[in-house]
Amino acid sequence: MFEARYIETVRSIFQEQKQLAEDALNQVNDEDLHRVLAKDTLSLAVIVQHISNNMKSRWTDFLTTDGEKPDRNRDAEFEDQQLSREELMATWDARWQLLDDVLVSLTPEDLGKTVFIRGEEKSVIWAIEKQVSHYSYHVGQIVFLAKVFAGDNWNVLTIPLPHQR
């Protein structure tokens, strides 16, 4: 019972994070997807690229192979590939679907197993929670940058601040 409830809770949290990021990204124009605020900062497109590629690596064969796949080029994730919004979002959607498919497939027994990430043994629950925090961190970046780029056209995504009500 607890295991099924945990999986449903995590799925819900991931879906909320995905929706929050998408609602923010929808408020910026295509040029702003590739804009950086300062040297050594990430654009929205690069953050989306990174999350998407991290998901592919972590969630492909989640229980049976190392979460850091040998064909992953993490460094390239942090270089703007100049993908269009459509290309970015198609990959984004596919990777979130991969994540959800894995979560749906997990059994209560799977939650007691271990997986490997970069050769280190981790509990399945640790691996899931690590990704919850990792994606939430980057979704926060997406929301912040989108809010800056949208400026006065920003539509609040959560509870408005008192002076905005």
Over the stretch 84-105, which tens digit does the pLDDT of each residue have?
999 999 999 999 999 999 999 9
The structure tokens 């640790």 sit at 126
CA pair distance 4, 103, nearest whole angstrom: 10
Instruction: Check residue 160 and give its pLDDT.
Output: 80
At residue 106, φ and ψ (nearest 5 deg) are -70, 140
Per-residue pLDDT band at 158 (split at 50, 70, 90): confident
Instruction: Check residue 161 and give its pLDDT.
Output: 77
| % of residues, the chain, pLDDT over 90 | 95
83 class by beta-carbon count within 10 Å (0-12 exposed, 13-18 middle, 19+ buried)? middle
CA pair distance 23, 97, nearest whole angstrom: 18
**Residues 78 and 46 sit within 8 Å (Cβ to Cβ):** yes
pLDDT digits (tens, 9 = 90+) for 101-114: 999 999 999 999 99
| C-beta atoms surrounding 129 within 10 Å | 13
- Please give the structure tokens belonging to residue 114: 């271990």
The structure tokens 């049976």 sit at 64
Through-space distance between the first and last CA atoms of the chain, rounded to whole angstroms: 41
pLDDT digits (tens, 9 = 90+) for 28-71: 999 999 999 999 999 999 999 999 999 999 999 999 999 999 99
Mean pLDDT of the chain: 96
User: What would the mean pLDDT of 155-164 be, rounded to a whole number?
Assistant: 83
User: What would the mean pLDDT of 138-154 be, rounded to a whole number?
Assistant: 97
At residue 122, φ and ψ (nearest 5 deg) are -135, 150
CA pair distance 54, 115, nearest whole angstrom: 16
Instruction: Check residue 165 and give its pLDDT.
Output: 63
